[in-house]
Structure 1
């Protein structure tokens, strides 16, 4: 049986401590230039995409993140 997280993107609130996550994300950007911040975000996306591991789920995330 496939675990649901492997086939479907979770779009409902799922962070145990969302405010702590946000604070940690902001702290991770401290001292970075705009260019360095963009590069950090790109690397972070690749690390998290590797963790997800499913192109189907990542495609759902692309759609969810698009404006409109």
Structure 2
């Protein structure tokens, strides 16, 4: 089941870390980082039903 309610203990800290990961990157490098991050997290989730629900929620 996809969790759509706030679920991070430190969402501001996470957002800061995400922004910091993109510091100094070009647009293409930033896009590539986002794509790799999506693939890493999708692999960690590993449940196609959850990932399909995430696609729908993101639309």
Corresponding position: 1:19 with 2:12: yes
Relative to the length of structure 2, the TM-score reads 0.99
Relative to the length of structure 1, the TM-score reads 0.86
Question: Which runs of no fewer than 5 residues in structure 1 stay unpaired?
Answer: 1-7
Q: How many residues align?
A: 59
Q: CA deviation at 1:57?
A: 0.1
Give the greater-gyration-radius structure (CA).
1
CA distance in 2, matches of 1:13, 1:19: 12
Question: Which runs of no fewer than 5 residues in structure 2 stay unpaired?
Answer: none
Cα-Cα RMSD: 0.3
CA distance in 1, matches of 2:14, 2:35: 18
Corresponding position: 1:28 with 2:21: yes
Runs of 4+ displaced beyond 4 Å: none
Q: What SS class does the counterpart of residue 20 from structure 2 fall into?
A: helix
